[in-house]
Each structure stands twice: as structure tokens, then as C-alpha cells.
Amino acid sequence: MYLALLVIFLQCSELYTQDRVFTFNTVEINVQPSVKVKNGAPMSIICRADISKSTDFQLKHNFTIFKDGKLVFLTVSDEDDARYEVPMARSSDTGEYECTVEAGGKTKSSNSLHVWVAGMTKPILTAEKKEVLEGEVVKLRCELPEEVPPLYFYFRKIKMNSTPKEKYVFEAYKNFSEVEFPVEEGDNILQFDCFGKRHVQREFDSSEHSNKTLVTVREPFIKPTLSVKPSNNITEGDRIQLECSTVVARMRDIEIILQKNKTILNSVRDEKVLKYSAVATPEDSGEYLCKVEQGRASKSTKVNVVVSELFPKPTLAASMNKLDENRELTLSCSVSGFRKANFSVLRRTSNGDVLLKTSRNLTMRVSVNDTGSYICKAEVKGIVKESKPVRINVYAPVSKPTLSVASGLPEVVLGKPLQLICRSAMGTPPITFTFYKGNEMKKTVINDTYATFLDENIRQNDRRGYRCDARNNHSSGVKTSNILNVTVVVPIRNASLGSIPYGEVEEGSEIAFLCSVKEGSWPIHFRIFRKTDRDVLVFEQSEHADRVMWRKGTMSRQDTGTYYCLASNRANVDVKSHPITISAKGPSMEMSGPALATNSTSEKLTRQHNDGDYYSGPDLEGAEVEYTEVEVSTLDPHKAPVQKGTETVYSEIRKANNGCVIARWESINAVENP
């Protein structure tokens, strides 16, 4: 029975639950009277829920309204709508509104709705003082009590018959702002007001202007009076007197300043009158300004003064501005249209002006030391004026210039530049130096005592001499140096080494070495080395020739090895020959050695060529042998001194199969040096 009752109860509950089914169709939000509401007008935000029900039953609704994401209204109602009433809308009520409805465990939200409360409340402006002095400041405060920051505040200073001066301040966190306006000269009765602005969806919303606040300005002192005595138009030499005065309400911290062209002439403190006096000159003409200052207050008065010239500046004339030493110079001083003046002639120096003569004219015989600037002065009624300076240049003649090579010796290495120096020991600068190579002018330089010239076009056979000219403004004219001949040093080129016999020599016999060069200026320094663990110098000699011969009397096995020669001259470049190798053999009856050409036997010794090939001479096999006496030819007279005589050399002559004459040296007499 109980089980049957339980089943009946559960079935009834299920039927009851099925009878209370509902669903949200929409939730909407709107505003009355419209989405744009005038500031101060009433406003209603209405949230409405559209719900479908299975039966007609009561349903509790929880209404929540948000503005810009913040909760502003909450209520519970059986009705399907709720109203959020704002009796006086303010600009702070502008924003995005949204409502949410919760019922029976279900929730639904509306779309957002933007509401704009147009206009702002009228600001309130207050001034710290109602009465101020010139030079003080007016402190103002503008407040928008019912507005929410950020806000923009605009302040205005209003004067009669002038455009208002405006200042603005942005306040991010306050609904009020404060500023200061300075009270300037001429301010009398001032009015101030303010208004506010705020930014709404890329637009500015402005308030109406505040109440006008009136501020009265009092003068701390009156505008100064500036007087000139005897008058504003005076003559040079008269005494000018200026007086500046004012009337002050409070003497403390008052200052009077007299200026001319921004230059302060005089000033006084805590006094009502300033005086200034001076003997007038034309430079005193111009505008004078008297300024009175107290704190920030400032007032000024201007007056223009004209000083007529008593007499013009003197003029100094010279008989000559450029002249030779020991010539006569006359300086004359004059004033146009004015002869009754006291004249003096002076020389201007770094230590001041030096008086030369108290007179209109000065005549003197000049020296170089008289070069400088001269002036004259004229005095009338205590007024002294000076002329513009006149430059006088006195010249001593240049001495004969000397021309030399910068390196010292009168020579230059072929391929290197040549630097010359032209110098005059005496002569008043500036001096003009001119360089010549032969008769060709190369360079002109203006300097004080010397000049340089760099010749970069040096040729081997260039035999033109150098000279230079020097001249200045002296009337004596040009002086010319002696001709300088410069030796061109030709560097060594292509050194070679040969020997007789060549390559192999009998132990105990003699051998001759010939070291020669293809090109190079004399004297030439020759050195012959033998290579061992270190290079050993075995012969050294300087020659006025392009070759040298060294005869070694006895050759041993210890003397065998590799030989080379070095040749150098004043070009300071060592040129090395290719090496030759000399070996020793035991004595034999028949000698052998390298071939020599039949002509010029003394200079045609077999030598190794620069390209590394060896010259071994023609084939000696089957040649007929005969002995002859050969005369040694002399050296080239252009390259070495002429020999004192000839010497006889015995040699073995063979005729080779091809008919050539081949010589084998038996003994060699060294070429005699001069």
C-alpha cells in the first residue's frame, strides 16, 4: 500500500515539474526619453525579459544593470521588466549600459546600449584675491563638482579692448584645477572665467562658462619721467644730463635703471630719482630708456637724444705706404674744413700708442723696424678724435739666394724624387721664390725666408742645372742663385759572377773570379762571398768600373763550394749575382776549363747568366791545339779608367770541329787598377 502511494506521489511531482517549463526569448535594454539625454534631465534605464512558459505560473526575476562593466542597479521582481531611474542625469552617467536577468536557474544578458548625457554642469570659479598690485599674480580655482575626471579646464583673462588670454590644464584624476595669471603693466580692472571639456567617443563635450570673477589692479608706482638737459639736441663737447623719477606707493625693493642700446649706464635702489651726466660725443646719440622695477612690476619711458658733431674725425695720409729702407716718409694729419686743432702723430704697438710728434706733419728716414700702423689725433675743446690707422711697410732687399739639396749631397738616385731648398738669408718678407730647371720655370712660392721644390721627373741623362730667383717689394729687383748641378746615381742592375777555370779547378792551381754589373754609377763596391754554414766574405774592393777581377793564387779543397758576389753603389741597394759552384780535382797533365770567346778576353770570362742558364762554351773534342800570345783589351773608357798598358796571357788554343777558335787559360795576370 505504501509503495503504491509513493509511486502516485512521484508521478504527481513529475507532472508538476513538467507544468513549470520556461525559456528566455530575449533580454532587451533601452533608455527613456532617448539615448542622448540633456544634462540635468531625468533618465530611465529599462531592462525587459521576454520569457515563454509552459503554463501560467509565477517566476521570480533577478535584474542587474551594469554601466561600463560596473554594477549600478540590482532588483528582484515578479514582473518581466525593471527600471533604473536617474532623476538628474550628469555627464558622468554617459557610458555603455547592459542588463542581465536570472530566473529559475537560467540567465540571459542584453546587448550593450550607449547612453550619452550631453552637456556638462556649470563650473565654479574663485579668485584668491579681489585686489592685487601690478607685478603680482592672480590665483584662480575652477571646479566641476558633479563631473568625473579626466577633465580639461580652460581659464580666461579678460581685459577691456583686447583679446582674452587663455590657459588650459588637463586633470586626469581631479574635478578641479588651479592656475596663476601675472598682472602686467597696464592691467587695471580684470575679469576671469573658466569652462570645462571632456572627451566622449572621439568628440568633446563642453560646459557653459563659469561666473565672471572681477579683480581690481593697483599701481605700485607710476610710469617714470625721463628728462634731458640742456635739451634733446646738443652739440658734441657739451655736458648732457639725464634724470629719471617716479612716484611709488611702497619704497621697498624699488629699482630705477637707465639704459642706452641695452647697455646699463646707471641704476639706483630704494630711491625715487636717478641722475646721469657725461660730456656728449656723437656716439651718445640714440634712444635712452628709463625702467622702474619692483617685484614683477615694470614700467619704462624712452627718449631720443641727438648729438651734433663738433668736427669730423681726422685723416692721416702717407707719402708712400710701401718703400725701401733709408727712404724718406712723410705723414700728414688733417681735419676736413677745420684747421684750428691740436694734432699729434702716433705709432700703434701691442703695448699701446707711442707718441712720435705733436704736429700736423711728420717726416722721417725709415728702417725696416718702422714697419707698422700709424694714427693721428686731433683735439678741439677737449674733444679728441683719432684717424683710421695707416699701414706702412718698409722693405730691406733680399740677399742672393742659395740653392741646395734637402738631403745634403748634390745627388739623387734615379727613380727617386729630388727636393731642393731655396733660401735668402736677408730680405723683408714676403719673398717670392721661383725655381728653374735649365731655362724652364718649374714653381713659384711666396714665403718668408725659404721655399722648397720637389722634382719627381728625374732622368738618367738629364744634365740641366737648377737655379732659383728671390724677390720682394724692394726696388732692387730679382736676385738669382748659382747653378746647382745634381748627379743622378744609377742603381746597380744585373750583377753576375764568372770564374777561370770554370766549375772545376786543379787542387793547388790558381783561379780568377770576375764580378760585373750591367748598369750602375761608379764607384761600385764589389764583394765576393763563399757559402758555408754562414756566408764568408773572401774579397772586397771598390772600383770606378763596372767589373772587378779577383785572382786566388792557390786553390785547395777547403776553398771549394758555392760563390756569389754583391755589388752596390751610392744608391744603397745590394744586387746579388746567381751563385756558381767551384770544385777541386787532383793534379793532371792536361788542363781543362770553360771556353772564352776570342774577342775581349778580359771581359768575356765565362759567367752564369741571370736567367739561371749556364754558358759552357763549344765542344773541345777533336780540336787542334796550338799556343799563341793574346793581347788583353782595355776596359771601356766610358765605364772605367784606361789601362796603363797591356799584358801577355799564355793560353792553349784549339780549333774545334766547327772551325771556332777556343781558348783555355794557362795563367792569368790580373787587370791593373789605376
pLDDT in tens, 458-488: 888 877 899 999 999 999 999 999 999 998 9
Q: What share of the chain is helix, strand, coil (3-state, %, to 5)?
A: 5, 55, 40
Measured from the Cβ of residue 18, the count of other Cβ atoms closer than 10 Å reads: 10
* Residue 637: predicted pLDDT: 34
Is a pLDDT exceeding 80 seen at residue 625? no
* Residue 257: predicted pLDDT: 93
* Residue 588: predicted pLDDT: 60
* Residue 672: predicted pLDDT: 32
Q: What single string gives the DSSP state of each residue in 435-503?
A: EEETTEEEEEEEESSEEEEEE----TT----EEEEEE-SSTT--EEPPPB--EEEPPPEEEEEEEES-S
Q: What angle do CA 575, 580, 586 make, to 5 degrees?
A: 150
303 DSSP assignment: E
List pLDDT tens digits, range 300-343: 899 999 998 888 899 999 999 999 999 999 999 999 877 788 99
Q: How far apart are the first and last CA of the chain?
A: 166
* Residue 339: predicted pLDDT: 73
* Per-residue 3-state assignment (H helix, E strand, C coil) for 9-77: HHHHHHHHHHHCCEEEEEEEEEEECCCEEECCCCEEEEEEEEEEECCCCCCCEEEEEEECCEEEEEEEE
Q: What angle do CA 207, 211, 216 make, to 5 degrees?
A: 140
Q: Give the separation between CA 455 and CA 466, rounded to whole angstroms.
A: 10
Whole-structure pTM value: 0.47
Q: What single string gives the DSSP state of each residue in 97-130?
A: EEEEEEETTEEEEPPPEEEEEES-PPPEEEES-S
Measured from the Cβ of residue 530, the count of other Cβ atoms closer than 10 Å reads: 18
* Residue 184: predicted pLDDT: 84
Q: Give the separation between CA 98 and CA 94, rounded to whole angstroms.
A: 13
Q: How far is CA 450 from CA 418, 424, 468, 569, 606, in A?
A: 17, 6, 11, 32, 55
* Residue 338: predicted pLDDT: 74
* Mode of pairing for the β-strands spanning 479-480 and 466-471: antiparallel
Query: φ, ψ for residue 42 (rounded to 5)?
Result: -70, 155
Q: What single string gives the DSSP state of each residue in 407-450?
A: TSSSEEETTS-EEEEEE-SS-PSPEEEEEEETTEEEEEEEESSE
Is a pLDDT exceeding 80 seen at residue 387? yes
Query: How many percent of the chain have pLDDT more than 90?
Result: 53
List pLDDT tens digits, range 218-260: 878 788 899 999 999 998 888 899 999 888 877 778 899 999 9
Is a pLDDT exceeding 50 seen at residue 641? no
Mean pLDDT for the stretch of residues 93-102: 91
Closest by CA to 174, choosing from 210, 139, 141, 135, is 141
360 DSSP assignment: S
List pLDDT tens digits, range 406-415: 988 899 998 8
Q: Give the separation between CA 397 and CA 58, rounded to whole angstroms.
A: 133
170's enclosing H/E stretch is strand 165-171
Measured from the Cβ of residue 469, the count of other Cβ atoms closer than 10 Å reads: 19
All residues at 6 or more sequence positions from 668 whose CB lies less than 8 Å from its CB, including other chains: 500, 510, 512, 551, 649
Mean pLDDT for the stretch of residues 609-618: 32
List pLDDT tens digits, range 521-532: 999 999 999 998
Mean pLDDT for the stretch of residues 626-648: 35
* 2 or 339, greater pLDDT: 339
* Residue 493: predicted pLDDT: 92
List pLDDT tens digits, range 533-584: 888 999 999 999 999 999 998 888 888 999 999 999 999 999 999 999 999 8
Strands (E), 295-351: 297-308, 315-318, 322-324, 328-334, 342-349
Contact 341, 358 (CB under 8 A): no
Mean pLDDT for the stretch of residues 9-35: 74
* Residue 578: predicted pLDDT: 94
Q: How far is CA 22 from CA 34, 50, 106, 524, 528, in A?
A: 32, 11, 10, 129, 128
Is a pLDDT exceeding 80 seen at residue 645? no
Q: Give the separation between CA 429 and CA 396, rounded to whole angstroms.
A: 9
Q: What is the band of 16 on the pLDDT scale with cuts at 50, 70, 90?
A: very low
Lay out the sheet containing 225-229: strands in order across.
225-229, 239-245, 273-279
Mean pLDDT for the stretch of residues 652-671: 35
Mean pLDDT for the stretch of residues 16-43: 85
* Residue 18: predicted pLDDT: 55
* Mode of pairing for the β-strands spanning 61-67 and 213-218: unpaired
Question: What is the residue-averaged pLDDT of the chain?
Answer: 82
Q: Give the separation between CA 195 and CA 168, rounded to whole angstroms.
A: 10
Q: What is the band of 92 on the pLDDT scale with cuts at 50, 70, 90?
A: confident
